[in-house]
A and B are shown apart, each in its own frame.
Chain A
Amino acid sequence: MNRRYFFLGCLAFAAGCSRVANRTKHRVSIVRAQSYSVDLVSIIRRVLLEHRVAVAGKSVVLKPNLVEFSTHAPANTHPVFVAAAAEAFRSLGAREIRVAEGPGHRRATLDMALDAGFFSAIPNFEKNFTDLNLDEVTRVPIANPFSSLSHLYLPNTVLRCDLLVSLPKMKTHHWAGATLSMKNLFGVVPGAVYGWPKNVLHWGGIDECIADLHGLFPRQFCLVDGIEGMEGNGPILGTRNAPGLIVAGSHPPSVDATCCRIMQIDPDQIGYLRLAGRRSGGSTASAEQTGESIRGVKTPFALIPAFEHLRLRLNSGDNS
């Protein structure tokens, strides 16, 4: 074999590896949970075991979505859901569990948490909570950014934990289309540096910044609160829709793509999912579903007129 053939052989091998990577299927679980009064701890515990999430001895940060004082529709991750996640991780031997969030519009984070019911649902909540807007920060460079940002200051609490658990609410979003586990990471960007709202992320490109943040946190697990969600003019002014589901997995783009299909939103039309797919060499269609089928649980979420083009079409092959 001469050098030319050796070189061509290497190229062919690399292309083959790339195709194998493209076929990587990330496991995503869809589990029914009709209300917040069912045994959520057992459900979440089973999901964590099924996904073989390494929990024992780890420090875990639970990142719910806390955006507003009580509104007419469910805008915040339900505190009972967060409490159940904390209990499930504790039962599997987590060394430390903190709840952490940095709301994007309001500064009175703890008062908002009190109003949303977190103090009563989670024992010693204030002691075990970090306001990410006011946390100590570290400058983190963004390698090969999609956005116009070269770096971000990020809270040490989330940078130093062993596992970041995204606990978003299943909602539509009037700028990004859908807000799920990836968009939930906007809440880790500190308001004390970037403000309320964290407008730098809008100017850097919303989809691009979501994809960049995803790349900065490789150790994640996602548990989407789809028991009650928000449709229409989300993430604050929408209305209630209750699919009665938890969607979980360790690969946020796959979890979010699955949620989109359940919501009957085409994940290929969501900018940040396309970007994340481009970076990982995968696609939004590559999840390995366990538990319920999307077809069996699909729950169309109303979209504002400007986003009707996001609606999943029947020939998309996404109703498996």
Chain B
Amino acid sequence: MTAEAGQLQRLLLIAQNPDGGWAYQQPGTSWTEPSALALLALAAQNNTGPAYTRGRSWLLQTQKADGGWAPAPAVDTSTCMTSVAVLALADGALKTPALARGVRWLLDQENGETPALERVALRLLGAAPPKAPGGSPWFPGTAAWIAPTAMSVLALGRAARAGVASAADEQRLRPAIKRAQQYLLSRTCRDGGWNHGGSSFRSEDAESYPETTGLALLALQGVSPAELQRPFRRAESFLVAPQPVEALSWLQLALTRHGRTLQLANSRPVCRNTRDICLRLLALADPGKDTFGEASMS
């Protein structure tokens, strides 16, 4: 373990709340995303001691009755934060109906095709269809975006590898992942990367972001490298300049998993919150194929 990883791990352990979860910022109440990322980060550092066990208990206890996870216990609606919870829990050690319901919740969030009549109406108005098939929303019932779709691909991919879905949902996993990857490819920016994922309507010149480019590329493992040459170039171009932790971490994880050689401009970016600490620990450890492995299995 590097000195930086050791220091970050100590910070993460100190930041754990008495209830077992983690806040985004200290002091604060426990939220789903930092707690699930903390579990992933600790596991990647081979630390599955008492802190990990307490964190896992917190996450399991906060699952909603509908199978999903809300962003925090104070929120009553399950959202795409379910994907990071499933990603953290689907390590093969746990095969319960509750986790299978989490997988189903994710599968049910996939946006379908916009109805034909609505498509025609929107085309007449000069607007892009609000929903593209295969993508997942941040919040149920809204449009799909890059980050929740990519996180869903990673979670469903890990669930498939760990065999935690119900028998009925097992067959839904691979087609859903494939459609989600198609959605990601359909939202590539002109420069070859990805931004938050808005349509090109009135934003055709919008540039890609490093963090979503890294995250999307991580979720596109299994797609032919020939299809990803422009995204690779765009991702590598971001690394020429120093990047925030989130961006650097997703880019590093993605390019490593795709077997690309990294040339990093900044060696030690500043972690601003718990999520940053976790992402940095994940990038430093590279948890490997088990956590962020090939998703499409095409």
Chain B residue with Cβ nearest A109: B272
B234-277 interface with A by 8 A CB criterion: 244-247, 270, 272-273
Are A197 and B196 in touch, CB under 8 angstroms? yes
Given known contacts A108-B244, A237-B203, is B126 in contact with A136 (CB within 8 Å)? Answer: no
Are B71 and A192 in touch, CB under 8 angstroms? yes
For the complex, give the distance between the alpha carbons of A99 and B206 in Å: 28
For the complex, give the distance between the alpha carbons of A196 and B143 in Å: 11
Contacts of B124 in A (CB 8 A): none
Given known contacts A134-B273, A193-B71, A193-B79, is B196 in contact with A105 (CB within 8 Å)? Answer: yes
A217 at the interface (CB under 8 A from B): no
B-contacting 9-mer, from A6-14, A16-24, A198-206? A198-206
Given known contacts A105-B196, A137-B75, A202-B142, is B147 in contact with A196 (CB within 8 Å)? Answer: yes
Contacts of A200 in B (CB 8 A): 139, 142
CB distance from A134 to the nearest CB of B (A): 4
How many residue pairs at the A-B interface have CB separations less than 8 Å? 89
CB distance from A262 to the nearest CB of B (A): 24
Contacts of A195 in B (CB 8 A): 79-80, 137-139, 142, 145, 147-148
Contacts of B145 in A (CB 8 A): 195-197, 199
Are B71 and A236 in touch, CB under 8 angstroms? no
A293-310 interface with B by 8 A CB criterion: 304, 306
Chain A interface: which size bin? 20 to 34
Chain A residue with Cβ nearest B273: A134
Are B195 and A105 in touch, CB under 8 angstroms? yes
A-contacting 9-mer, from B27-35, B163-171, B217-225? B27-35
Chain B contributes a number of interface residues (CB within 8 A of A) equal to 39
B289 at the interface (CB under 8 A from A): no
Chain B residue with Cβ nearest A107: B246
Contacts of B33 in A (CB 8 A): 192
Contact with A along B188-226 (1 / 0, CB 8 A): 000000011010001101100101000000000000000
A63-80 interface with B by 8 A CB criterion: none
B141 at the interface (CB under 8 A from A): yes
B46 at the interface (CB under 8 A from A): no
Given known contacts A111-B272, A192-B31, A192-B33, is B198 in contact with A197 (CB within 8 Å)? Answer: yes
Contacts of B25 in A (CB 8 A): 131, 134
Are B272 and A196 in touch, CB under 8 angstroms? no
A240 at the interface (CB under 8 A from B): no
Chain B residue with Cβ nearest A237: B205
For the complex, give the distance between the alpha carbons of A194 and B143 in Å: 12
A289 at the interface (CB under 8 A from B): no
A233 at the interface (CB under 8 A from B): yes
CB distance from A174 to the nearest CB of B (A): 4
Chain B residue with Cβ nearest A304: B202
CB distance from B241 to the nearest CB of A (A): 11
Contact with A along B28-68 (1 / 0, CB 8 A): 11010100000000000000000000000000000000000
For the complex, give the distance between the alpha carbons of A175 and B125 in Å: 13
B227 at the interface (CB under 8 A from A): no
Are B72 and A137 in touch, CB under 8 angstroms? yes
CB distance from B208 to the nearest CB of A (A): 12
Contacts of A202 in B (CB 8 A): 142-143
B93 at the interface (CB under 8 A from A): no
Are A203 and B142 in touch, CB under 8 angstroms? yes
Chain A residue with Cβ nearest B141: A203
A125 at the interface (CB under 8 A from B): no
Given known contacts A137-B74, A195-B145, is B206 in contact with A236 (CB within 8 Å)? Answer: yes
A167-183 interface with B by 8 A CB criterion: 174-175
Are A199 and B137 in touch, CB under 8 angstroms? yes
Contacts of B272 in A (CB 8 A): 108-111
Are B244 and A111 in touch, CB under 8 angstroms? yes
Are A106 and B28 in touch, CB under 8 angstroms? no
Are A106 and B142 in touch, CB under 8 angstroms? no
Contacts of B206 in A (CB 8 A): 236-237
For the complex, give the distance between the alpha carbons of A134 and B274 in Å: 11
CB distance from B172 to the nearest CB of A (A): 24
CB distance from B149 to the nearest CB of A (A): 12
For the complex, give the distance between the alpha carbons of A194 and B75 in Å: 11
B residues at A contact (CB < 8 Å)? 24-25, 28-29, 31, 33, 71-72, 74-76, 79-80, 126, 137-139, 141-143, 145, 147-148, 195-196, 198, 202-203, 205-206, 209, 211, 244-247, 270, 272-273
7 contacts between A and B (CB under 8 A): A105-B209, A107-B246, A108-B245, A193-B71, A195-B145, A196-B145, A237-B205
Given contacts A108-B247, A195-B80, A200-B142, 14 further A-B contacts (CB under 8 A): A105-B209, A110-B272, A131-B25, A136-B29, A139-B76, A174-B203, A193-B71, A195-B148, A199-B142, A202-B142, A203-B141, A203-B142, A304-B202, A306-B202
Q: Which 10 A-B pairs have the closest CB atoms?
A: A195-B138, A111-B244, A108-B244, A134-B24, A199-B142, A174-B202, A110-B272, A105-B196, A203-B142, A200-B139
